[in-house]
Homo-oligomer: A and B are copies of this chain.
Amino acid sequence: MPTIYEQVRRFYSRQMQLIDSGRVEDWVETFVDDAVIANNANPAPARGREVITKVVHRIVADAHERGLVHRHWLDMLTVDPIDEDSLETTFYALVVETAKGGTPGLFRSTRGRDVLVRRGSGWQVRERYVTHDGS
């Protein structure tokens, strides 16, 4: 039985790979129905899977049209229990961007804080707050 820390690492690995491969419908299922995503660069948080899906579809489509590959890296992870079925994480996330025929660069550096809740044998994000460095 993996520790909760390992479960959470694996959860994030999968979540990052889903978004970067454009599988938005699978990716959004890593969030609860009424999840909230907010960041310091945008005053209005995205509430609920429907809104989140719309926003992220646009971001993914935009990168695709411009021939850009994005890779989300997440680490420097801390995991602290809130109660039996929920926990708080903090982490850094980087987005590496590569244009067709180009060399990779850093598109964004952030730190984040999530609340995760149990769902079956796994986890889902209930709240995410991301701070974009430089904003």
Contacts and interface: CB of A to CB of B under 8 A. Distances in A.
Interface of A: 2-3, 5-6, 9-10, 12-14, 16-17, 20, 69, 71-79, 90, 92, 94, 96, 98-109, 111, 133-135
A21 to B, nearest CB: 9
Given A77-B13, A109-B71, A133-B71, A5 B5 contact: no
Given A3-B2, A134-B101, A73 B71 contact: no
A108 to B, nearest CB: 7
A10 B76 CA distance: 8
Number of copies: 3
Contact of A69 (B16, B75, B94, B109): B109
Given A17-B90, A71-B111, A94-B96, 19 more contacts: A2-B5, A5-B9, A10-B77, A13-B75, A14-B78, A20-B111, A69-B134, A71-B92, A94-B104, A96-B106, A98-B109, A98-B133, A101-B134, A102-B134, A103-B134, A104-B107, A104-B108, A104-B133, A106-B106
A76 B74 contact: yes
Contacts of A134: 69, 98-104
A66 to B, nearest CB: 12
Contacts of A92: 16-17, 71, 73
